[in-house]
Structure 1
Amino acid sequence: MRMGLELVCLLLLATASSSWAVNCPWPCRCAWVVDSLYADCSRRSLHTFPNFDGIPVEHLDLSGNQFGQFPTQYADIDSLIYLDLSNNQISALDGKSLIGFTSLRTLLLANNSIGSWEALSPNEAFKYAPSLKRLGLDGNHLGSFGSGESFELLTSQSLTELELSSCDISALGGDQLMNQLPNLERLNLANNQLTQMAALPSRSLRSLDLSNCSIQHLSGFFLDSLQHLEALNLSRNTQLEFGGLEEDPVLTFELRKLDVSYCNLDSIDLSGLPQLTELRLRGNLLRSIDATTFANNTMLEVLDLSQNVLRLLGQDAFANLKRLKQLNLAFNEIARLDRNFIRNNDVLVELNLSRNVLQKLTRIVSNSVRTINMSWCEITFIDSSALSSLSVIQKLDLSNNLISDFPTFMRSETLQELNLANCRLSTVRNNTFREFPELADLHLNGNRLTSPIPPYYFGSNKFLDQLWLGDNPWICDCHNPLFVEFYDFLTAKPAKIKDKNHLRCAAPAIFYNKLWEFACADVWIQNARSSSGGEKAWSIIMITLLLLGGLILAYACLQKFLKKRKVRDNHREYAENDDELRRIRDLNDRILLEDATPSIHQQQQEISLLPSYEDALRMPKLVRPVKSMMDLSGPERARNSRKLRRSQTHAEGEGSQSEAEDSSLQLDSRQRFRSVEMLSNRDKERTAQYGPYRRTGHMEYSQSGSRRFSIEDSRFPAAHLKTQNLQSAEQIGNFQSYENSPYTKRKPKIAEIPPFKRVNMAAASVEFLTDPEYDDVEASKPGSPFAKRKPKKSLPPPPSMKVSAQVYTLKQSPVLELDPAVEDYFSAAKKQASSSTIGSDFQELHAPELRSLPDENRSSASPSESEHDLERAKRRKRKNSSSRRVSGSFTAANAGDGSSSSSDTEQHARVHRPMRETLF
């Protein structure tokens, strides 16, 4: 039994766990029962059918909704075997509605709006369901069954069970009807008003239900046509006459079960039914039973004669029923029982005599009866030998009788359950239950017991484990040791009392209707406190140990809690720090990204700070070799300047010029060096290295030219650094071509860039470079300083250095091949070795000889106008030099004497190395 319960629990758990694995459509509920999927969509007031595509549902319940048509879309569900559409509003069934339901076995259409057999298409629709076994049409208004036209006849080769109860069928019968249902086994026609009944010749029908059909007479011809009928229900046909006519007797040898309950039969003849095994005659008017009543029904196993008016039972009334197992005589008027009335029924197990007027329980002889129900029989006296002849009795129900005293010497070796509830017992003696050694369940509730029962009264009942003592007027004497002992006996584990909540006090008045444990709790606790000293000491020791254990446990829990909280705080702090670092990193990355990708306004501002292409060409070039721009701004600038002037004086060996010209050139040199200093500071700004996590604090410059921050742990950038647009030193260091040069950000004016014919880097003016109209300097510009210069002596022409420059124009036009205007610092051609004696990074290039061209304007110009033009050019150069300090133009002073810039005998020009080598 326990294994079965465990198996059921496992199946339920498996069902509950597997139900979640199905994507059940709303609002249905799906559940697995063993290996079948049940979908319950009943009583949801649905108007549209739920979608079960891809769900292997087998049992689908759609009852209690508002569907008006048959769901033909479920024909694609191959696993569907049960479909319940009862209690809907389906009015018709098309002849092709069941096409595709090849696996359907049960179809229930009860309580719908089907008005006739023609609306069901009975001769066509059910042919397409070859596996249909059960069809339910209860509650529809069909009118008749089997007596209409051929197209109204139900046709199905597989149908075995048909339910047509409450269908307003008034006519029944016909050979053609049963021929269309060759495999029908069970037919339910209950609750119809059958006024005409024809024969139903069928060899397959096993069960027929004609209850509550107003049948008055059942002819023998009707039963003869049902050759294999086994169960017939004729109950609640109140005007039925069964087997009373001699000219038309009821005779059948196949009928096994017959129910003629509530038919108002006062007599019955069952001699023509020799194979009956179950007979129910409940609710009739039978007054007596004798030996001839069931003389020919020797195969009976279940006989129900309850709710009749039986008063006398003959001595041999059931003597011939050798196979009788259950006999029900309840709700009769039996006042006396013969001790031997069931003596010959050797297999009788259950006897029900409840609701009779026996008044006295006497001896009953039976060697097979195990259960006897004699409740509500008004019994006042019990014979002490009443159970002596019941050798296998196990359960005796004597509840709701008038028993005031249970006999002392009553005994039974097999009795296990004794029910004396709701009687009038007031006392229980020490030998009342002594002779019931197998007693396990005793009901004494609802009696008049007032005093506690000593536990030793149940000393012989070793198997007693269920006691029912509630609803008795107990007197709760909490100071009585017997009362306390009895309570301990009932509540000691395993507890024997089963109705503890009904165990209440009736006296004294202060404890009225209170439970025992609440009524005597104060007294029992006080008595426990006033126990012996040893018990008190032991209790104190136990309580102390419990308190110590509780304190230790609380301390351990507190330590564990503090440890967990510390770990939690550490994790939280770590997470906060990590989040803060992430925010700072994201902020720095965003700032760096903004610095790396400046806006259009910043680009325009940066372009405005850089010198234009014409300004860069007009900037005076350095005469002396310089390794880097840092030499111009370092602390040894003055010493290097003097050294450089001394070395150039020794190298060139030329005399000094006039003091005015020398002073003007030295003034221009100082202005250039100041411009160079500004450029070097800007270079430091570009090449400063700073990390993404140190962005505040003032900058300090080291001797190496890099900058560092004075505040190491600052997190947010300073305000002057946020708006500062710094150029990356890496971009300058990785300078590759003029496309990446900052000079190309400003578009040059194409008309002002001349094609260079010759390059003289030591010339005092480059005006002829910006005039695209003339190639002849002396002829084109008579006022140019080049026209005043004397032609150089004929020297062997040095190899000219060609510099290529790329000029991007918007319009493509053919351009003549001219010498480059800007020196190509990144050309792959090998540079010529410098012949300078000073260890410099500058290269010496032999400039081609400049030949003076005849200029009429120059010859005619007066010396005063030429000096005036020269003075004006010098002023312009000083103004441009001072204005370019902010724009970052590259200027340098001409080291040496002033005569070196205007000498006609100069043959060499010094050219700077590429920008990335000069700056770094």
Structure 2
Amino acid sequence: MPSIHLYKMQLLFLAIVSAGLFGCSAAVDCPSVCKCRWIIDSLYANCSRRGLRSYPNFNDIPVEHLDLSFNDFTEFPRQYADMDSLLYLDLSDNRIANLAADALIGFSSLRTLLLANNSIADWSHINPNEAFKYAPSLKRLSLRGNRLGNFGGDVASEQLNSQSLNELDLSAAQITIVGGDVLINQLPNLQRLSLANNQLAQLARLPSKSLLELDMSNCNMQRLNSMFIEALHSLEVLNLSHNTALQFGWEEDLIVGLELRNLDVSYCNLDQIDLSGLPVLMEVRLRGNLLRSVGQNTFANNTLLELVDLSQNVLRFIGNAAFNPLKRLKHLNLAYNEIAHLDRNLISGNDALLELNMSRNIIQKLTKIVSNSVRVIDLSWCEISVIESTALTGLSAIQRLDLSNNLISYFPSLMRSETLQQLNLANCRLSTIRNNSFSGFPELADLHLNGNRLINPIPPGHFRANKFLDQIWLGDNPWICECQNPLFVEFYDYLTAKPAKLKDRHNLRCASPANYYGQLWDYACLSDWTVSARNSSGEKVWSTIMLSILGLGLLALLYGCFQKMMRKHKQRQNRREYNANHEELQRIRDINERMLREESSATLQQQQEISLLPSYEDALRMPKLERPAKSMLDLSAAQRNRKQLRRSQTQADDDNSGGEEELQLDSRQRFRSVEMLSNRDKERTAQYQPYRRTGYMEYSTQSGSRRLSIEDSRFPAAHLKTQNLQSAEQIGNFQSYENSPYTKRKPKIAEIPPFKRINVMANSVEFLTDPDCDSIGSKPGSPFARRKPKTPISMQVSAQVYAMEHDQRTSVQLDPAVEDYFSNAQKRPASTSTIASDFQEVAAPDIASLPDDDTRSNVSTSAAEIDLERGMRKKRKNSSTRRVSGNFSAAAANDSSSSASDGERSVPVHRPMRETLF
């Protein structure tokens, strides 16, 4: 038993180590066609039976054992020469036809090379004299299964040359000639040579000082020359089996081997043998011959024999002292012979004998055998029918006795053995077991009674003396299953009680009664044993108690499961409720965040809408004013305040007359840039988002002006009418949106002149900016203050947009409003331009001789001029293409002139703001 546990522990340890090594193999980048695994500290790569035609790549993999057998390789793998770790290479069962002389260059670490069962057709195709010199570590070479033809020979180029080779396998290589000095000269370290399964037609001397093992089995040998063995000075193992015509042991062919220790001449049809020339022989196998007797002189000179196998012969007679000289004999096999009687002193002199095999003989009676050392005796299949009660008394160390498959019908009751542990009586004819049949075997632990004729149960008391009995085989017996028999129940309980002694329970079947035939004991008697158990009152009480306890336990278990299920259900419900609340809270939080974002966006949008002035296009789309306005204050102030403000801006401080309010018209003009007009179509189709700014400023590198980008504007493009379009010259005068009257800005003092409105009656900028000039109802220094006019220069005004009805009047051009301060030359009159300006210039014949502001009121105006002036004002007022951005008018010279003019006003002349300001 301890050995079994130790064996199990060893298996477990090996399994753990193998699993660990297999896990480590996952870290190796093994080719996909191979399987790599670690064994101890060596990496094995198995690529066999893959049908490969090209060798796999093992770059940077430390493979030591490589198996490439059973593939379709045709050439030797020279690419593996750089693998210093390669120790084992198996190329057997491929189609390699030759081995080049330099094929093994680089294989300095290779120890085993297997080229068995390839397509090598001749011994010279492997270049035996050159190829193996370049493998200095090669120990084992296999060329089995090729067609080599011969081995050795006198030609030096055909002799195998390797100074390191220890084992050479040339079996089944179709070799017919063996001989020469190849072993002693070319293979000085060869120890094992196999020439088995070759048809040797010629066998010559094969001298060698290093050869230890020689296998020449199944070589169709007829005679073995004694000189052949003598030439092998160190030969220890010789196998000559299966040479059916071999003559061995005659006087003239006496084999002499002073170092030969193991001889196998099995199945050679030998009828006599002489081993006297082998004094150190330790193992001899003579199985399957025709030996008829073994005498006293057969092994007289072989005192060192430890194993003698004489099985499968025709031995009938064995001398009394045939094995007495063999003092070291341990294993004697006499099975499959014709021995009918055993002498009691047959093995008495062999004190080292451990095993005796006498099976398959014709022994009918087992008599006493004397031996102080034998432990195992096999007498199975010997037709033994009678056993003497004293048969085991002479075997003081017997442990195992096999008497199976004999004709034993009665086992004697007085047999004794103090050391017997295993007794095999299987497949005999035993029908009864007496109470003292095994009482003489106190160490008995294993008893085989299967395959006999036992029908009645064996009382457990019969095994009272066998305290160590733990394994019983009782199957294949015709048992009568008397389930109600107390002895039967007691015997069953004895066999099945833990630890169970019955080892073949699945073969323990009933032969009778008929209704139980072929059934196992467990199934046949289960119903009866259950009913009988119910009939007992005490058992009924205990059954009731046990069932009650079981029922209570089951109820408690169900209750506990129900409570656990309810707790889990409640936990799931709480979890769902918590998730629902969490989702609701998250939804409310999202709604609040969205509302806050909308409010903040709306507030920001309102602030932006309030703080930012409309763009140019937005201003065009705004509704037109019913009346002219000069500033936002004029729009937001009350009506009375607006009137006062208008009076303060248009009349002098001492003017108290309440005449008709003069219509103030703005002469500022707006321009559209080329970029704004070109982006009109893009603005109509642009996708506008709800919270985007109106636009952003972009600078043009060509014109040097800025324009507003409205690609992402939230206001659509203005649909301008035909009359709103200006000419290219007018658009070219546009500088930027900073000059628009709707752009909120603070003008720079250095760039914007200190005036915002001009009077058309002024002849030059000096006239307007001269501080010596008297102010007209305004503060000194104001752009509307009266200044002393300089010498008027005739202004030529050309009406280009609106054709005047009075063609008889002479058109006079006016000088530009901005005077060149840095030029002393006299301004030359501007040429008449054909540009369709956006400003209207009045073509009056006498506008060149307009009087000064002091004398304007005294000049009488004709009816035609008044009509013309009113028509122009009406036309401007009703124009839908422009918005009033300012009003520049010439104030009356004095109060009397404005009151006596019957609603007449000074003629307004609109000029471009860019020309006016800059």
- Fold equivalence (TM over 0.5): yes
Match of 2:126 among 120, 130, 139: 120
Match of 1:645 among 642, 646, 664: 642
**1:454 equivalent in alignment to 2:459:** yes
Amino acid at match of 1:39: A
Aligned 8 A contact 1:623 1:762 in 2? no
Amino acid at match of 1:165: S
Report SS of the residue matched to 1:279.
Answer: strand
Partner of 1:558: 565
Partner of 1:312: 317
Residue 250 of structure 1: how far off its partner (Å)? 1.8
| Deviation per residue, 1:296-353 (Å, 9 max, x gap) | 0000001100001111111111000000010000000110001111011111101111
Please give the alpha-carbon distance, in whole angstroms, between the structure 1 residues aligned to 2:45 and 2:154: 38
Match of 2:151 among 138, 145, 151: 145
Residue 550 of structure 1: how far off its partner (Å)? 2.8
Residue 457 of structure 1: how far off its partner (Å)? 2.2
Residue 504 of structure 1: how far off its partner (Å)? 1.5
Aligned 8 A contact 2:387 2:411 in 1? yes
Partner of 2:486: 481
Distance 1:625 1:124, change over 3 A: same
Match of 2:844 among 841, 851, 858: 858
Partner of 1:424: 429
**1:345 equivalent in alignment to 2:350:** yes
Residue 355 of structure 1: how far off its partner (Å)? 0.4
Report SS of the residue matched to 1:467.
Answer: strand
Distance 1:50 1:762, change over 3 A: closer
Aligned 8 A contact 1:38 1:59 in 2? yes
Distance 1:53 1:611, change over 3 A: same
862-871 vs 338-347, which deviates more? 862-871
Please give the alpha-carbon distance, in whole angstroms, between the structure 2 residues aligned to 1:430 and 1:511: 28
Residue 148 of structure 1: how far off its partner (Å)? 5.2
Residue 241 of structure 1: how far off its partner (Å)? 1.5
Please give the alpha-carbon distance, in whole angstroms, between the structure 2 residues aligned to 1:574 and 1:52: 62
| Deviation per residue, 1:46-93 (Å, 9 max, x gap) | 222222222211111111112111111122222111111111111111
Aligned 8 A contact 2:45 2:66 in 1? yes
**1:236 equivalent in alignment to 2:239:** no
**1:468 equivalent in alignment to 2:492:** no
Mapping for residues 715-864 of structure 1, pairs under 5 Å: 724-729=688-693, 741-742=708-709, 751-753=729-731, 796=769, 854-855=795-796, 856=812, 857-860=843-846, 862-864=865-867
Amino acid at match of 2:499: P
Aligned 8 A contact 2:101 2:130 in 1? yes
Aligned 8 A contact 1:792 1:904 in 2? no
Mapping for residues 294-309 of structure 1, pairs under 5 Å: 294-309=299-314
Aligned 8 A contact 2:220 2:244 in 1? yes
**1:67 equivalent in alignment to 2:73:** yes
Aligned 8 A contact 2:249 2:272 in 1? no
Residue 172 of structure 1: how far off its partner (Å)? 0.4
Aligned residues: CA RMSD: 4.7
Report SS of the residue matched to 2:152.
Answer: coil
Report SS of the residue matched to 1:520.
Answer: helix
Match of 1:292 among 289, 297, 303: 297
Amino acid at match of 1:343: S
Please give the alpha-carbon distance, in whole angstroms, between the structure 1 residues aligned to 2:568 and 2:516: 48
Please give the alpha-carbon distance, in whole angstroms, between the structure 1 residues aligned to 2:60 and 2:413: 73
Distance 1:580 1:101, change over 3 A: farther
Aligned 8 A contact 1:797 1:848 in 2? no
Residue 357 of structure 1: how far off its partner (Å)? 0.7
Partner of 2:218: 212
TM-score by length of 2: 0.73
481-490 vs 559-568, which deviates more? 559-568
Distance 1:335 1:730, change over 3 A: farther
Match of 2:870 among 858, 867, 871: 867
| Deviation per residue, 1:697-724 (Å, 9 max, x gap) | xxxxxxxxxxxxxxxxxxxxxxxxx975
Structure of higher RCO (CA pairs closer than 8 Å, 6+ residues apart): 1
Partner of 2:334: 329
Please give the alpha-carbon distance, in whole angstroms, between the structure 2 residues aligned to 1:753 and 1:536: 117
| Deviation per residue, 1:665-720 (Å, 9 max, x gap) | 99x9xxxxxxxxxxxxxxxxxxxxxxxxxxxxxxxxxxxxxxxxxxxxxxxxxxxx
Distance 1:739 1:509, change over 3 A: farther
| Deviation per residue, 1:724-774 (Å, 9 max, x gap) | 533525977999x985844799999863246699x99999xxxxxxxxxxx
Match of 2:546 among 517, 531, 539: 539
Report SS of the residue matched to 2:45.
Answer: strand
Distance 1:739 1:378, change over 3 A: farther
Distance 1:792 1:280, change over 3 A: closer
Please give the alpha-carbon distance, in whole angstroms, between the structure 2 residues aligned to 1:191 and 1:760: 115
Distance 1:788 1:16, change over 3 A: same
Match of 1:163 among 165, 169, 177: 169
Residue 421 of structure 1: how far off its partner (Å)? 0.9
Amino acid at match of 1:456: G
Report SS of the residue matched to 2:396.
Answer: coil
Aligned 8 A contact 2:698 2:706 in 1? no
Please give the alpha-carbon distance, in whole angstroms, between the structure 1 residues aligned to 2:875 and 2:519: 128
Report SS of the residue matched to 1:38.
Answer: strand
261-270 vs 62-71, which deviates more? 62-71
Match of 1:410 among 410, 415, 439: 415
Report SS of the residue matched to 1:862.
Answer: helix
Aligned 8 A contact 1:612 1:748 in 2? no
Distance 1:794 1:190, change over 3 A: closer
Partner of 2:826: none
Aligned 8 A contact 1:144 1:169 in 2? yes
Distance 1:117 1:871, change over 3 A: same
Aligned 8 A contact 2:695 2:708 in 1? no
Mapping for residues 194-213 of structure 1, pairs under 5 Å: 194-213=200-219
Please give the alpha-carbon distance, in whole angstroms, between the structure 1 residues aligned to 2:591 and 2:99: 75
Amino acid at match of 2:125: A
| Deviation per residue, 1:143-176 (Å, 9 max, x gap) | 1111252211111111000001111111101014
Report SS of the residue matched to 1:267.
Answer: coil
Aligned 8 A contact 1:231 1:256 in 2? yes
- Return the index of the structure with the highest Cα Rg: 2
Partner of 1:174: 180
Partner of 1:54: 60
**Unaligned 5+ residue runs, structure 1?**
592-607, 669-721, 764-783, 799-835, 838-843, 882-890, 912-920
Residue 472 of structure 1: how far off its partner (Å)? 1.2
Please give the alpha-carbon distance, in whole angstroms, between the structure 2 residues aligned to 1:762 and 1:521: 115
**1:495 equivalent in alignment to 2:518:** no
Report SS of the residue matched to 2:845.
Answer: helix
Aligned 8 A contact 1:788 1:858 in 2? no
**1:374 equivalent in alignment to 2:379:** yes
How many residues align structurally?
Answer: 748
Residue 560 of structure 1: how far off its partner (Å)? 6.7
Aligned 8 A contact 1:613 1:743 in 2? no
Distance 1:792 1:102, change over 3 A: closer
TM-score by length of 1: 0.72
Match of 1:23 among 1, 24, 29: 29
**Unaligned 5+ residue runs, structure 2?**
599-613, 668-685, 718-724, 742-756, 772-777, 797-811, 813-842, 847-863, 893-897, 899-903, 914-918
Partner of 1:686: none
Identity of aligned residues (%): 50
Partner of 2:722: none
